[in-house]
Structure 1
Amino acid sequence: MNPTRRTVLLAGATAALLPSLPATAAPRPRAAALQPYASYWYPDSLPSGTPGAGITWRSLKAWRAAEDADLAFNAAREPLAARFTPTPANPTARTDQARIQSLVSFGPTSSNPSQGSATADYYAPTHWAYVDELVFWGGSSGEGLILAPNAPIVDAAHRHGVRVLGNIFLPPVAYGGQLRWTRDLVQTDSAGRYPLAAQLVAVAKAYGFDGWFVNAETGGGDAALATAMQGFLRELKSLAAAEGQRVTWYDSMTVSGSVSWQGGLTSQNEAFFRAADDMFVDFRWSASSLASSGQRAERLGRSRYELWAGVDVESNGSNTAVNWDAIVPRDSAHTVSLGFYRPEWTRNHLPAGARTPKDFHAADDRFWTGRSLDPSRPDADDPWRAPAVVVADRSTVTSVPFASVFNTGHGLRWYEDGEVASDAPWNHLGLQDRLPSRQWVVRTPGRRPAVSFDFADAWRGGSSVLVDGDLDAPVIVDLYATWLPIGVNTVVELTHRIDAGAVNIELAVATAEPGTPGATPPYTFLPVNPVNIEPVNAVNGWQALTTRLTGLTGTVRALGVRLTPSGTGPVRWRLGGLAVRDATTETPAAPTGLRITAASGGDLRFAWNAAPGAVRHYTLHRLLPDGTRRFLGGTCQLAHFAAGLTPEQGERTARFEVRSVGELYTSSAPVTVTHPW
């Protein structure tokens, strides 16, 4: 049985009991001394006893950035990208009404690696275009209650214009919650200020995320505690706003200090909503409670869409029965916004030990796009009202150069220039590209092919886009809504491979929006021709094709491809890369100061100084005695951890290099360091 919200809380309660039990748990993993993990804290005082295996108890009040040994691994570096909203892909998607908040548990509270891990079995969201905020859900009474998001998650979300909130979870007493932790959170100093509010804002600033989700579910409080919580929220919101951060309140504590989930905005929780930026409405809502909540918010001078109506999808995902008309009616204005609780069901419901990236993305496409798997052709009879049917997608593709290799942030192998550079599975969301916002709009008068991310082969990273089907007519695949200026030297580059069949490839470029929602962009179709930018990869058949935007002026508003069958039989066509650039290509500057900051056997911590100028990410390779390079990892951060390294035969000194990777995937000269065995 998959874990539910209740069993997660019970797990936290069990963990809370561990300190009183004999220390018989299994030891921590071998690399634990150097392996950096996502950070978590108690507000101030710690539990009595001894933490369980693999758990470190920390006080947020005592946290100092200068003393945080893992900060370099946990600090996100990608700024929050600005978004724009193109003409919707279908007539039902609204541009200015309901928004979506997503509460996601990416891993356990403790022992959650800072920078990915050696498995492709990971929740790697790709439908960011429909999400406004992501909450890094978690926390338990036996581990810690305040969670800072992993840097890779923040970097990926920011690249798509999505804010990420850390989580403050004060659990129910029945599941290990202690009221003293609530009192710790809202304590004041001699000046009447709330020191933990300042600490929370400082953490979010140092770690590079966007604010906090406050969930106070520990019962037993009184009106004085509720008043203190309101004061804490007001100060937190004020300090957060000065740093561009936000605060969400969860519908739990009431003005009496008791915990009573309202399922709406009422007199019992209005004071907390007024003190925060928005509120997640507990799952007990009804059509009437949401309607009255929206009206109440507007009487307060607030937007009704600052209320997120909770939809619990942890157990049944896109099979969940939801009264959609109570939240996002088809024939009238949306009532409030949507708050999805645990949409990582799309991964978790698959058989453990047999989850593949392909199966996960198929389920994720179903959840976010709907049964038709095409945002431009929603299925009106689908009982699941997918986000693509309800809210308009957004895009952050607004400047040249722009490039994507359709890397989803996890894979079965790592590829460089069409060759396997590491055969180990991996995940690291910080390496995820800006991905197509409409997965997958396919326009054809004939048979629709299947379009998906595919992990069997890639040009770079871990994935490519695969178009697979028996084509009997031209097929247009929409890729990106953009706002890219066209210059006299602007070119578009496609890196592709034909695995089966024969097709003619054209670039689809629109310099204007379609006239109505759901209409095809006014594409101009340009043939793409081989140019000798680099030799064709003779081993794997990848080709780099470029075309000038001859005759086009203004702004590129949409990019896609048109495939026309030129033979018989099924077609399998793979897109490995897309770039919009000037005719010249710049190489990024190299980082400096590469060093090994800690070592334990074959476990190494690396650090370096940032390269000047724009850098997409950094890659770490090992230089083997035979002259080959082995990919060890990539990151947006200025530090990286590598585990389990062993000497090659006869090797006395290991040699490593780090390179900067630019927006166009050009790499800098290397900076190197050695390590004696």
Structure 2
Amino acid sequence: MDRKGSSSKGSKGGVDRRAFLGMLGAAGVTIGLAGPVGPFALPAHAADDPAPGRAPHQPYLHGYNAASLKSWSPESDRYAKYFRSRVPLATRIAPFAATQADPELATGAQLMNLSYDYDNSFFTAYKYNDVFARRLLRFWQYTDLYGSWHGMPVDGSPTDEPEHGLINLPNPAYTDAAHRNGAKSLGCWFWPRSGEFADYLEQRADGGFPVADKLIEMAGYFGFDGYFINQEAETAPADAAKLMEMLKYLRAQAPEGFHVQWYDTIMVNGKLDYQNQLNDSNAPWIQDGKTPVNNSLFANYWMPDDAQVEKSVETAKKLGLDPYEAVFHGTENEKYGYNPPYDTRLVFPEGKPARTSWALFGSHFAWDRYPDRENPDAQPAVFQRERRYWSGPNEDPTRTGRTEYVPWPHEDDGKPRDADNHKKWDGVARYITERSVIGAFPFVTRFNTGHGRAFFLDGKRASDREWNNASIQDILPTWQFWTRSGGSGEPLPVDYDYTRAHDGGSSLRIAGELGPENPTTVRLFKTALRVTGGERLSVTFLTGHDGGDSGLDVGLILADDPERFVWLPAGRTARGWTTATLGLDAFAGRTVAAVGVRVAAAKRGQYALNIGELALLGGAAERPAAPAGFTVDAAHLAEGSGSAEVFLSWRFSAQGVWYYDLHRELSDGGLEAVGRIYDEVYYVKSLARSGGEPTTRLRLVAVAPDGTRSAPATAEVRWA
């Protein structure tokens, strides 16, 4: 990805090594660039320790070159079945300005978030793993398109000099999370790579392109929605022409909803020439005459004034295209952090409609650029950096906007300036309206962010192991965080708590000094839930307060009266986890447009509330059928360790299933959490033998969207 400007305006400079580390790596490609960095090189950690923490049989994803693309099949791809996304793309509810954080913000502009999703790893590209300190996006409500950005070696590539593939697939766990929130997930295409580009452009006698056919087939099998095309190298004119033909074929053959985004790189003659806009020179990559090619353009970042953006709008309209659908002007955060060189307000002029949509590169910097990011105890600081990026410097989407800003000079010299100063960043919520998929009953969240330092079931610790799995991330609060005080004092702060949870790895915690002067309201979810009769709301919570009686109320905002909450009392201070169930029949015929909670106390004191589950439920729950075909496919015992890697499978059912839970039966009759997934296979990295037990019995349970659990299926791991 370029950091500066069109090659007609000077040399391409200021390129960051880490941004390209997975893309070029040791692919047999050396590119010299003018500027302060020079040729790309592999960082020492990638070459010296290519697979830290990988178990001998642990599945990992790889890249694909021309040969592996043309010959691809799920059967021949050794780990393919472990890297599928099975979560369907959710439908988002219609915009409703009255409940937006900024009711004046228009909803047309979209957001593309191009970011790495395997921690920029080469040989450790896992769907899920056994560490807590990993980057997991918790702000899907602002993203419309998610694109993976990394590079991975082809299967069988040597670790010391890996050959990277042209294509790498998005992490299916991220695809699951994206789909659950209504965002599309894209795989990544990056050239240059080793080999001949012409090998990818083979055309059959019938006019079809084998590689294009396989790209569509792979997206269908792995469950993602298209590709981000980064053809970032000079390309022979004949190859460029053939690429254009192949992309037209790809677009024509792809299923409805498939999205292909073109990065602003080569011209139709193959010359690498960043335009920083959509114009007549690069428009044929989006629409060639009347023929669609790619769906949209990710414009390069060089944007000293609004002329480029206006030109993009003009060109899109001339082609008969919606600028919000066809053009995504880019901002580079991977290197520049909170202080990118070109002003976002060129795309989003103050007080006026957005000119085009917006593309982000490197939102992962909040994690990646934090020096202590691998330390589990340091994660609160990482989470704060993430909130500041998405919700603005005040960590509140209702109070966005930079509080300190000094414009960059006209030329970008490629050097970051004050990159960690969040006061110079407006927040994504400043320009992109929050989206929601909560449009039907049931809706259940446990505020599970997709990783934990333990795993909890029914409020009890069911595993002491760290874990991460974005695939099972819940739908998280629409606003992070929108709090208000009902008096003169400051509202209590809100955050995720990884020390207490009711189900999963985390709960939502509201804690601090609470008294009569600061009853605190937290607005949580944007919804469009039509109440017809028989619906109910339940909340599971844990409270603690040393200053006297305190209470929890759950609030509803009705679409026909959006200026106020209707409060429902959920209960008072209690010992242990408490579940309150509240009927909604009084609201029959009305639509719930938002949900929040309120805490209050008559006497000042230290207060803490953990919400472990919030559920909006419809009619009577239907228990799902017990899983069928639950089998131990393989168990690889680790010599001398008393543990095994275990591969499990069962017959997948999408009918009435939210996810599958895996447990281990303990000798005392209890259960240990082993894993959770929405799939038909699961890999257990380390199942420990207990004492001298000859077998370990595992249980598999299907869980319905309202949380109802099936009867268990069982399978046994034999240790001898």
Question: TM-score normalized by structure 2?
Answer: 0.84
Q: Give the equivalent residue in structure 2 for 1:603.
A: 645
Tell me how far apart the structure 2 counterparts of residues 230 and 5 of structure 1 sit (CA, whole Å).
Answer: 29
Cα deviation, 1:530-576, whole Å, max 9, x if unaligned, reads 8xxxxx996xx111111112422222111111222222123221111
How is 1:225-624 mapped onto 2 (pairs within 5 angstroms)?
225-240=239-254, 242-274=255-287, 275-286=293-304, 287-305=306-324, 306-350=326-370, 351-355=372-376, 356-379=378-401, 381=403, 383-446=424-487, 447-471=490-514, 472-501=517-546, 502-512=549-559, 521-529=563-571, 541-553=576-588, 554-582=590-618, 584-601=620-637, 602-611=644-653, 613-624=655-666
Instruction: Tell whether the 8 Å contact from 2:534 to 2:585 is kept in structure 1 after alignment.
Output: no
Tell me how far apart the structure 1 counterparts of residues 27 and 102 of structure 2 sit (CA, whole Å).
Answer: 50
Alignment CA distance shift 1:354-1:271 (3 Å)? same
Tell me how far apart the structure 2 counterparts of residues 126 and 189 of structure 1 sit (CA, whole Å).
Answer: 44
Tell me how far apart the structure 1 counterparts of residues 626 and 52 of structure 2 sit (CA, whole Å).
Answer: 34
Structure 1 residue matching 2:70: 3-state secondary structure: coil
Alignment CA distance shift 1:626-1:506 (3 Å)? closer
Cα distance, 1:157 vs structure 2: 0.6
Structure 1 residue matching 2:389: 3-state secondary structure: helix
Cα distance, 1:347 vs structure 2: 1.0
Name which of 156, 163, 167 aligns with 2:177.
156
Structure 2 residue matching 1:67: 3-state secondary structure: coil
Q: Give the equivalent residue in structure 2 for 1:51.
A: none
Instruction: Tell whether the 8 Å contact from 2:113 to 2:359 is kept in structure 1 after alignment.
Output: yes
Q: Once structures 1 and 2 are overlaid, which stretch shifts more, 86-95 or 271-280?
A: 86-95
Alignment CA distance shift 1:281-1:550 (3 Å)? same
Alignment CA distance shift 1:338-1:188 (3 Å)? same
Instruction: Tell whether the 8 Å contact from 1:464 to 1:574 is kept in structure 2 after alignment.
Output: yes
Tell me how far apart the structure 1 counterparts of residues 243 and 104 of structure 2 sit (CA, whole Å).
Answer: 38
Tell me how far apart the structure 2 counterparts of residues 583 and 12 of structure 1 sit (CA, whole Å).
Answer: 50
Amino acid in structure 2 at the alignment position of 1:104:
S
Tell me how far apart the structure 2 counterparts of residues 91 and 643 of structure 1 sit (CA, whole Å).
Answer: 45
Q: Give the equivalent residue in structure 2 for 1:86.
A: 96
Cα deviation, 1:420-456, whole Å, max 9, x if unaligned, reads 1111111101111111111111122431221112212
Alignment CA distance shift 1:112-1:163 (3 Å)? farther
Alignment CA distance shift 1:32-1:473 (3 Å)? closer
Q: Give the equivalent residue in structure 2 for 1:54.
A: none
Instruction: Tell whether the 8 Å contact from 1:418 to 1:537 is kept in structure 2 after alignment.
Output: no
Tell me how far apart the structure 1 counterparts of residues 142 and 629 of structure 2 sit (CA, whole Å).
Answer: 40
Alignment CA distance shift 1:105-1:68 (3 Å)? same
Instruction: Tell whether the 8 Å contact from 2:74 to 2:81 is kept in structure 1 after alignment.
Output: no
Tell me how far apart the structure 2 counterparts of residues 514 and 346 of structure 1 sit (CA, whole Å).
Answer: 38
Q: Is residue 2:182 matched to residue 1:170?
A: no
Instruction: Tell whether the 8 Å contact from 1:589 to 1:613 is kept in structure 2 after alignment.
Output: no
Cα distance, 1:167 vs structure 2: 0.4
Alignment CA distance shift 1:578-1:92 (3 Å)? closer
Unaligned runs of 5+ in 1: 45-58, 172-176, 516-520, 531-535
Amino acid in structure 2 at the alignment position of 1:86:
F
Instruction: Tell whether the 8 Å contact from 2:51 to 2:124 is kept in structure 1 after alignment.
Output: no
Tell me how far apart the structure 2 counterparts of residues 310 and 280 of structure 1 sit (CA, whole Å).
Answer: 6
Tell me how far apart the structure 2 counterparts of residues 206 and 537 of structure 1 sit (CA, whole Å).
Answer: 48
Cα distance, 1:160 vs structure 2: 0.4
Cα distance, 1:113 vs structure 2: 4.2
Tell me how far apart the structure 2 counterparts of residues 94 and 200 of structure 1 sit (CA, whole Å).
Answer: 37
Alignment CA distance shift 1:487-1:10 (3 Å)? closer
Q: Give the equivalent residue in structure 2 for 1:52.
A: none
Structure 2 residue matching 1:637: 3-state secondary structure: coil
Alignment CA distance shift 1:191-1:409 (3 Å)? same
Q: Give the equivalent residue in structure 2 for 1:136.
A: 148
Alignment CA distance shift 1:119-1:592 (3 Å)? same
Bigger relative contact order (CA 8 A; separation at least 6): 1
Name which of 53, 63, 67 aligns with 1:40.
63
Alignment CA distance shift 1:8-1:508 (3 Å)? closer
Q: Is residue 2:90 matched to residue 1:71?
A: no
Q: Once structures 1 and 2 are overlaid, which stretch shifts more, 406-415 or 185-194?
A: 185-194
Q: Give the equivalent residue in structure 2 for 1:106.
A: 117
Cα distance, 1:514 vs structure 2: 6.0
Tell me how far apart the structure 1 counterparts of residues 313 and 50 of structure 2 sit (CA, whole Å).
Answer: 51
Tell me how far apart the structure 1 counterparts of residues 50 and 529 of structure 2 sit (CA, whole Å).
Answer: 53
Identity across aligned pairs (percent)? 28
Structure 2 residue matching 1:226: 3-state secondary structure: helix
Instruction: Tell whether the 8 Å contact from 2:66 to 2:200 is kept in structure 1 after alignment.
Output: yes
Instruction: Tell whether the 8 Å contact from 2:24 to 2:151 is kept in structure 1 after alignment.
Output: no
Q: Give the equivalent residue in structure 2 for 1:518.
A: none
Amino acid in structure 1 at the alignment position of 2:96:
P
Tell me how far apart the structure 2 counterparts of residues 377 and 322 of structure 1 sit (CA, whole Å).
Answer: 22
Amino acid in structure 2 at the alignment position of 1:116:
Y
Alignment CA distance shift 1:542-1:605 (3 Å)? same
Question: TM-score normalized by structure 1?
Answer: 0.89
Amino acid in structure 2 at the alignment position of 1:393:
E
Alignment CA distance shift 1:436-1:122 (3 Å)? same
Q: Give the equivalent residue in structure 1 for 2:640.
A: none
Q: Once structures 1 and 2 are overlaid, which stretch shifts more, 457-466 or 493-502?
A: 493-502
Tell me how far apart the structure 2 counterparts of residues 477 and 121 of structure 1 sit (CA, whole Å).
Answer: 27
Instruction: Tell whether the 8 Å contact from 2:455 to 2:503 is kept in structure 1 after alignment.
Output: yes
Alignment CA distance shift 1:438-1:587 (3 Å)? same
Q: Once structures 1 and 2 are overlaid, which stretch shifts more, 474-483 or 132-141?
A: 132-141
Instruction: Tell whether the 8 Å contact from 2:328 to 2:359 is kept in structure 1 after alignment.
Output: yes
Amino acid in structure 1 at the alignment position of 2:552:
I
Q: Give the equivalent residue in structure 2 for 1:53.
A: none
Instruction: Tell whether the 8 Å contact from 2:446 to 2:614 is kept in structure 1 after alignment.
Output: yes
Q: Once structures 1 and 2 are overlaid, which stretch shifts more, 546-555 or 372-381?
A: 372-381
Amino acid in structure 2 at the alignment position of 1:413:
A
Cα distance, 1:186 vs structure 2: 2.3
Name which of 135, 141, 163 aligns with 1:123.
135
Amino acid in structure 2 at the alignment position of 1:295:
E
Cα distance, 1:469 vs structure 2: 2.8
Q: Once structures 1 and 2 are overlaid, which stretch shifts more, 231-240 or 482-491?
A: 482-491
Alignment CA distance shift 1:445-1:316 (3 Å)? farther
Tell me how far apart the structure 2 counterparts of residues 588 and 314 of structure 1 sit (CA, whole Å).
Answer: 44
Cα distance, 1:4 vs structure 2: 7.0
Cα distance, 1:403 vs structure 2: 0.7
Unaligned runs of 5+ in 2: 1-13, 30-41, 153-161, 288-292, 404-422, 638-643
Tell me how far apart the structure 1 counterparts of residues 107 and 19 of structure 2 sit (CA, whole Å).
Answer: 35
Structure 2 residue matching 1:158: 3-state secondary structure: helix
Cα deviation, 1:235-257, whole Å, max 9, x if unaligned, reads 111222x2431110111111121
Instruction: Tell whether the 8 Å contact from 2:532 to 2:585 is kept in structure 1 after alignment.
Output: no
Structure 2 residue matching 1:570: 3-state secondary structure: strand
Cα distance, 1:179 vs structure 2: 6.5
Cα distance, 1:587 vs structure 2: 2.6
Tell me how far apart the structure 1 counterparts of residues 174 and 25 of structure 2 sit (CA, whole Å).
Answer: 28
Cα distance, 1:299 vs structure 2: 0.9
